[in-house]
């Protein structure tokens, strides 16, 4: 199923400047792996070499942080909106 993924400004250049891309997948892991396959420049920014969600990116499905759901196993369905946001650190 197709899901719209909102990209932060920092990742848009990897997707030809697009702010929203439509990606096929049934889980967040599927979505991210498809994004990396279609836009290889995003690889190191989304997933670690081990295939784990990178700690410097936050992923939301309809405003819910997937880290508090089922992480990469979080299911998505038609009409869901996935948002990728860079993590913000302060000090």
CATH number at residue 28: 3.10.20.30
- The pLDDT value recorded for residue 90 is 56
Euclidean distance between CA atoms 7 and 2, whole angstroms: 16
The verdict on residue 16 lying in a domain is yes
Q: What percent of the chain has pLDDT over 90?
A: 78
Q: Is residue 17 part of a domain?
A: yes
pLDDT score of 51:
87
Residues 34-57: what's their mean pLDDT? Answer: 91
Give domain status of residue 67, yes or no: yes
Q: Which domain holds residue 67?
A: 2-86
* Tally of domains within the chain: 1
- Give the mean pLDDT of 83-87: 91
Output the pTM of the full model.
0.91
Q: What is the length of the chain?
A: 91
Token pair of 24 as six digits: 């096929």
Beta-carbon count within 10 A of 2 CB: 11
Residue 91 forms part of a structural domain:
no
Q: Please, are residues 58 and 82 in contact by the beta-carbon 8 Å criterion? A: no
């Amino acid at each position: 199923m197709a899901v719209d993924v909102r990209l932060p400004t920092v990742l848009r250049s990897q997707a030809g400047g697009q702010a929203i891309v439509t990606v096929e997948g049934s889980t967040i892991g599927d979505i991210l792996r498809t994004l990396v396959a279609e836009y290889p420049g995003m690889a190191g920014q989304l997933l670690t070499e081990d295939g784990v969600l990178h700690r410097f990116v936050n992923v939301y499905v309809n405003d819910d942080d997937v880290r508090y759901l089922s992480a990469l196993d979080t299911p998505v369905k038609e009409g869901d909106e996935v948002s990728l946001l860079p993590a913000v650190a302060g000090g």
